[in-house]
Amino acid sequence: MTSHVEPVRVEFVDTDAGGRIHHTAALRWAERAEHSLLRAAGLSELTSFPRRRITVEFFAPLHFGDRAEVEIAATAIGRTSITYGWRVLRAGQECVVGETTCVRVGEDGRPSEVDRAMREALGHP
């Protein structure tokens, strides 16, 4: 399975009124890591996979200035979908864990098959 680690830093814009990350920050970081994973795997198709399902669990707070890493990998590839498992770690501590399922759509807006080259590039031959 092909994976990627994306470094992130909690910026002021990522925080809520309590000084912790706003929940949407983790989603942005995961999406950035997903696109970096695809680029690192040599894939150029980055925009034809709208989100179908996202689950997120928060285990430890992150604050302004914290440095963390997003680890991501394609954990399952279906006929028309890819599911990514991801987590945000600060100094090895699991702070956020999530899963994102995307569906490939064609130019007609309908689901289309994930091709063999993409499966192989993501470690799912």
Euclidean distance between CA atoms 125 and 104, whole angstroms: 17
Tokens of 49: 């996979």
* Active-site residue identified among 14, 16, 108, 115: 16
Q: What separation, in Å, do the N-terminal and C-terminal C-alpha atoms of the chain show?
A: 10
Q: Which regions of the chain does DSSP assign to beta strands (E)?
A: 3-9, 51-58, 67-77, 81-90, 93-103
16 belongs to the catalytic site: yes
Q: At residue 87, what is the residue type?
A: R
Nearest to 33 by CA among 6, 51, 60: 6
Q: Would you mind telling me the total number of residues written for the chain in this entry? A: 125
Active-site positions? 16
